[in-house]
Amino acid sequence: MTKYHLNSLLVFIFLICGAFLSEAQTREVITLKKGWKFSKGNHPEAITSNFNTSNWETVTVPHDWAIKGPFDKEVDIQKVAIEQNGEKVATEKTGRTGALPYIGEAWYRNEFSISNFNKDKKVLILFEGAMSEPEVFLNGKKVGEWKYGYSYFYFDITNYINDTNINTLAVKLTNVGLSSRWYPGAGLYRKVQVIVKDKSNIKHWGTFITTPIITKDLAKVNIKTKVSGENLKLVTTIFNSEGKIITSNETDALFNNEFEQNLAVKNPKLWSPETPYLYTAVSKLYVNGKLTDEVSKRFGIRSINYDQKTGFSLNGEVRKFKGVCLHHDLGPIGTAVNKSALRRQLRILKDMGCDAIRSSHNMPSIEQLELCDEMGFMFLAESFDEWAKPKVKNGYNRFFNEYAEKDVVNLVHATRNHPSIVMWSSGNEVPDQWGTEGVKRAKWLQDIFHREDPTRPVTVGMDQVKATIESGFGALLDVPGLNYRVHLYEEAYEKFPQGFLLGSETASTVSSRGIYKFPVEKASMKTYDDFQSSSYDLEYCSWSNLPDDDFVLQDDKPWVIGEFVWTGFDYLGEPTPYDEVWPSRSSYFGINDLAGLPKDRYYLYRSRWNTTDETLHLLPHWNWEGREGEITPVFVYTSYDSAELFLNGKSLGIQKKTNHTPQNRYRLMWMDVKYEPGILKVVALDDDGNPVAEKEVKTAGKPHKILLDSDVKTIKANGEDLAYVTVSVVDKNGIPCPTATNQLNFKVKGNGEFKAACNGDATSLELFHLPTMKLFSGKLVVLVESTEEAGEIELKVTGKGLKTGKISLKTVH
C-alpha cells in the first residue's frame, strides 16, 4: 500500500498586469508584456543594442506568431507510419501539425530598466514557455539557452545588467519541421518576467508547502523555504481566503540553506473540486532585523491517497477521476496563453461535471493551474511525449539525455504548491515502453519526481500494455495508466501489483458538431466525402473505443480509479481519421469543438458526470429535407433512466436504459424513427413513469435573423480579457437553423476590438483573425478583446439577407 499525502500549494503568484508589482518594496517583478519587436528570419545582429527594429512588427507577449496562418498543406507534411495508430506503412500526413506556418527562426526584442540597481541586487529572467529552442541575449551577450518549448526556465542575469540601466533583451527561437505530432505554436507564448531582489533572498521556486497531517480540528502545514544569505530569520504568516490571519511562525534555524516551519491551522477548510478553498502563506525574510524579501504563496489543505484496496481518495473520500485531456492551444487564438480563454474552458467543463484535467502532453501553464486551484479541478501534470526513442524525427528525443532531469525539476519546483495537482506523468505512449532500457528510464524519471516531491505519485500513459506487462515497466509505476486498450484492463489488473488502474487516456471517439450520417452504425475510422464525422457518437479510432465502453469499466470495476477522455476540446492538428486528407487541419476528438461549442457527446458525459443538474438532450436536429419517410434514428442523452418520444404529437414509444449493450445502458435510442418535418419531443420519466422534464427540436425554415449571446457581459479593461459571443441564426419564427452556412461579417466599436472567430469546422481554411466567417452547423463564435479603457463595446454581425445582430458589453477597471 502506497500513500501520498499532500497538499497544498502555491500558486506562483507573481501576477502582474502592467509594468511591475512591488512586494513590500523588497523585490521588483517586471512583466515584459508590451513593447516587444518581432520578426521572422535570421537576424543574428539583433542582439546588439543599436540594432534598428523600426520595420519589425510590434507585438505583446504572450504571442503566437503562427496562428494567423495562412493554412497551407505544404507546411510540415510528415510521411510517417503512426505506430500508436497501428500503422505499418508510411503515408503522407497533411495537417498533422495544423498546417499553420510555425516552422522557422524568429526573433523578439525588448528593453527594460531597473530602478535603483546596485551591487546588492540579484536579477533573474523567467520564461514560462518559449517555442522553441530559445537562446537568450542581454546587452549583446548570450545569457543561456534551453531546448524544450514547453518548459519553464530562468537565468541569473545579474552580471549582464547594463550600467546605463537600459537593458536590451533579444530572444532567438527556432522551430524545426518534424518536431511535433500536433500544432505546437510558435513564439513567446507564455509570460516573460524580470525579477529583481536582494542578494539575501528566498530562492526562486524555493518554497514547498505541504499538509502532511489533517484532522477535522487541526491541520499541520509544513513549509520548506530555500534561501540565500547570512544572519537570516524567516517569518511566515498564513491567511484565510478572507485575508484574516490564521497563524504565524518565525525561525532562524537554518539547515543547508533551508528553513522548515510547521504551522497549525485550526478547523481547516479542505480543498476539493466541490469546495476549492485556498489559504495564503506570506513569508518574510529578514537580515539582522531588516526585511529583504517577501513571497506570497496560495495553497490548499488536502490529502490524497492511492490505495490497493480502495483506489484513489481525496480528503479520505474514495472517488474516481471524471477527467479530460487538453492540448495547450486555445483554438482561434493559438497557443498564446490567455486566462479568460482558459477560464471559459473550465466553466464549460465544470457544467459537464468534469473534475480533473490532464495536460497533454506537456507542462501546463501557470495560469491554467491557478484557475484549477480556484475553480476546483484536480490536475494530472504531464511532462513529455517522447523520451530517448523518437516518435517524430526532431522531437524531444534530441534533448532527452541532457535536459530531461532539468525539465522535470523545473516542472516540479514551479508547480508543486498547487493543490490541484494530484499526480505527475513522466510520459505519454513513449516508444521506450519496449525493452529493458525503457524500464530503466521509467524508474529514473519516477525517482526524480519522488526526490523533488515525495508527496505525489507518478504515472505514464501506456498504450503498449502487453509489452509493459512483460518487461516490468508497468509494475514499477506508482499509478499504471492505460491509454485505451479496454480489452486488456482485466489482464493488466491481474498482473500489475498496484491493485488499481487509471484510464489515463480514453475514448478517442470522433464527431463533428451538428453533422449526422446515415445509416447509423458503430464504425472504426469511418470517413466521408465531406471529411466530417458523425455526431451520433458511434465512430471511433482504430486504437480506441466508444465512451460507453469506458463507462462500463468505471462503473463496474472498483479498481479502475477514473478516466481522462481524449479530449475535452478539439485542438489544432491531428485530424484523425482524415490525417491524409486536405483540408482537414484540426482534431475531431473533442467533446467540445475548436470554438468551444458543445457537441452532442458533451451531454452524454454530462448525463453521467453532472450529478446535481438534470440532463436531457435530444439528437439529431430535425431539418432533413429529402429524407422524408427514411429511417432517421433519434438518441437521447439524459440523467433519467427512461423517456417517451413524440413526433408531431404521436408517441413513438418509451425507451429505458438496460444492460443489453453498453450503448443501451447509457443512451436512450429509437432506431426506427422515420423522418417527417415538424416537432420532435422527448419527455423524461421518473421511476414511477411520471413526466418530469421535456425537450424538443423543430424543423426550421430559411435563416432570417442573427442572434448573439456572450459568455460574459462584463470584461476587464486590461487589453487582454476576452468575451466569447456565440452567433447563430433563426428563421422568421425564431426556430434555430441547424444547417445554416451563411457567410457573416463582424464589426466591433467602442472600447474593444475584434480578436478572432471560429466555427468549429475542422476543414475550414478561413483565417481566424479576419472579421468574416461562415457558419458551421448554424453557429460560430466571435472573440471580442478589451482595450485598456473602461466603457462600452458593441459587436455587430451582418450577413446577406439576414437581420443584423448586435450585442453590447461593458469593460471595467
Write the pLDDT tens digit of every residue in 318-363: 999 999 999 999 999 999 999 999 999 999 999 999 999 999 999 9
Same domain for 262 and 377? no
**How far, in Å, CA of 337 to CA of 456, rounded?**
27
Q: Which is catalytic among the residues 429, 539, 563, 785?
A: 429
**How far, in Å, CA of 548 to CA of 540, rounded?**
12
Same domain for 113 and 232? no
Q: How many residues does the chain have?
A: 813
**How far, in Å, CA of 501 to CA of 559, rounded?**
6
What is the pTM for the complete model shown? Answer: 0.95
Q: Which domain-ending residue is among 565, 583, 609?
A: 609
**Chain center to CA of 464:** 25
Residue 100 pLDDT: 98
Same domain for 247 and 192? no
**How far, in Å, CA of 169 to CA of 171, rounded?**
7
Same domain for 377 and 445? yes
**How far, in Å, CA of 197 to CA of 206, rounded?**
14
Give the three cell numbers for residue 253. 534555524
Same domain for 720 and 694? no
Sorting pLDDT into bands at 50, 70 and 90, what band is 307? very high
Q: Quote the mean pLDDT of the chain.
A: 95
Residue 277 pLDDT: 98
Q: Which domain-ending residue is among 167, 198, 229?
A: 198
Predicted confidence (pLDDT) per residue in 152-185, tens digit: 999 999 999 998 789 999 999 999 999 999 999 9
Residue 521 pLDDT: 97
Instruction: Report if residue 526 sits inside a domain.
Output: no
Sorting pLDDT into bands at 50, 70 and 90, what band is 82? confident
Q: What is the number of helices (H) and of strands (E) in the chain?
A: 10, 49
Residue 642 pLDDT: 98
Residue 88 pLDDT: 83
57 among known catalytic residues: no
Give the three cell numbers for residue 403. 535536459
- Give me the mean pLDDT over the 679-704 stretch: 97
Predicted confidence (pLDDT) per residue in 630-646, tens digit: 999 999 999 999 999 99
Instruction: Report if residue 337 sits inside a domain.
Output: yes
Same domain for 689 and 724? no
Q: Which tops the pLDDT comparison, 199 or 6?
A: 199
Instruction: Report if residue 532 sits inside a domain.
Output: no
Instruction: Report if residue 583 sits inside a domain.
Output: no
Q: What share of the chain is helix, strand, coil (3-state, %, to 5)?
A: 15, 40, 45
- Give me the mean pLDDT over the 682-705 stretch: 97
Q: Which is catalytic among the residues 294, 382, 505, 720?
A: 505
Q: Which tops the pLDDT comparison, 26 or 747?
A: 747
User: Which range marks the domain in which residue 382 is found?
Assistant: 320-508+545-573+600-609
Sorting pLDDT into bands at 50, 70 and 90, what band is 25? low
Same domain for 179 and 211? no
Predicted confidence (pLDDT) per residue in 431-458, tens digit: 999 989 999 999 999 999 999 999 999 9
Backbone angles phi, psi at 150, to 5 degrees: -100, 0
Q: What is the CATH number of the domain that holds 665?
A: 2.60.40.10
Q: What is the CATH number of the domain that holds 467?
A: 3.20.20.80
Sorting pLDDT into bands at 50, 70 and 90, what band is 623? very high
User: Strand, helix or coil at 400?
Assistant: helix
Residue 756 pLDDT: 98
Query: Among residues of the chain, what percentage have pLDDT more than 70?
Result: 97
Q: How many CB atoms lie within 10 A of CB 735?
A: 17
Q: Which domain-ending residue is among 650, 666, 698?
A: 698
Q: What is the CATH number of the domain that holds 161?
A: 2.60.120.260
**How far, in Å, CA of 387 to CA of 644, rounded?**
53
Same domain for 63 and 161? yes
Pure H helices in 291-435:
339-352, 366-375, 400-415
Predicted confidence (pLDDT) per residue in 246-265, tens digit: 999 999 999 999 999 999 99
Query: Among residues of the chain, what percentage have pLDDT more than 90?
Result: 94
Q: Which tops the pLDDT comparison, 778 or 23?
A: 778
pLDDT(5) > 90:
no
DSSP state of 49: T
> From residue 785, how far is each of 28, 744, 753, 775 by CA, in Å?
28, 19, 5, 21
pLDDT(513) > 80:
yes
510-535 as b/e, with b when 16 or more CB fall inside 10 Å?
A: bbbbbbbbeebeebebeeeeebbbbb
Predicted confidence (pLDDT) per residue in 404-430, tens digit: 999 999 999 999 999 999 999 999 999
Question: By mean pLDDT, which of 56-70, 73-87, 431-445, 625-639 is the weakest?
Answer: 73-87
Instruction: Report if residue 449 sits inside a domain.
Output: yes
Number of domains in the chain: 5
User: Strand, helix or coil at 607?
Assistant: helix
User: Strand, helix or coil at 606?
Assistant: helix
- Give me the mean pLDDT over the 648-660 stretch: 97
Instruction: Report if residue 540 sits inside a domain.
Output: no
Sorting pLDDT into bands at 50, 70 and 90, what band is 84? confident
Residue 14 pLDDT: 30
- Give me the mean pLDDT over the 54-70 stretch: 98
Same domain for 188 and 211? no
Q: 111: burial class by Cβ within 10 Å (0-12, 13-18, 19+)?
A: middle
- Give me the mean pLDDT over the 32-49 stretch: 96
**How far, in Å, CA of 116 to CA of 331, rounded?**
42
Same domain for 675 and 778? no
pLDDT(649) > 60:
yes
Same domain for 185 and 222? no
Beta 78-80 vs 91-93: how paired, if at all? Answer: antiparallel
429 among known catalytic residues: yes
pLDDT(21) > 80:
no
Q: 775: burial class by Cβ within 10 Å (0-12, 13-18, 19+)?
A: buried
Closest-CA residue to 623 (of 719, 698, 692): 698
Instruction: Please spell the DSSP secondary structure of 604-652, one letter per residue.
Output: HHHHHH--SS--EEEES-S--TT-TTSB--EEEEESSSEEEEEETTEEE
Same domain for 440 and 469? yes
Q: 126: burial class by Cβ within 10 Å (0-12, 13-18, 19+)?
A: buried
Instruction: Report if residue 256 sits inside a domain.
Output: yes
